[in-house]
């Protein structure tokens, strides 16, 4: 008898979404009407705030929507010095 582990969004989402920091740049699958694909994270919470790197328009997406629309993490933000 074979046992298979079913990987669902409930397992994948926490792994993908826990690594975000304010200042990270993500690439989404579809372009913004201005033509930009890259967005910078400016707010973390139940919803994630994104700012278009081309036109500086700000939008809010739920974590689930961002996980579905995200193509790649382009750049991690530098961690601020502690102390």
Q: Residue-wise pLDDT tens for the chain (83 aa)?
A: 555 444 444 544 554 555 788 999 999 999 999 999 999 999 999 899 999 999 999 999 999 999 899 988 887 777 654 55
Return the HEC string of the chain.
CCCCCCCCHHHHHHHHHCCCCCCCEEEECCCCCCCCCEEEEEECCCEEEEEECCCCCEEEEEHHHHHHHEEEEEECCCCCCCC
Radius of gyration of the chain (CA): 15
Q: Which domains does the chain have, with CATH numbers?
A: 9-75 (2.30.30)
Report d(CA 45, CA 41) in Å as an integer. 11
Q: Is the pTM of this model over 0.75?
A: no
């Amino acid at each position: 008898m074979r046992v298979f582990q079913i990987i669902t969004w409930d397992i994948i989402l926490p792994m993908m979404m826990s690594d975000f920091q304010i200042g990270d740049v993500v690439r989404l699958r579809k372009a913004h009407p201005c033509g930009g694909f890259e967005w910078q994270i400016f707010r973390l919470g139940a919803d994630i705030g994104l700012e278009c790197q081309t036109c500086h328009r700000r939008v809010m997406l739920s974590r689930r929507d961002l996980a579905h629309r995200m193509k790649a993490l382009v750049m991690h933000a530098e961690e601020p010095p502690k102390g």
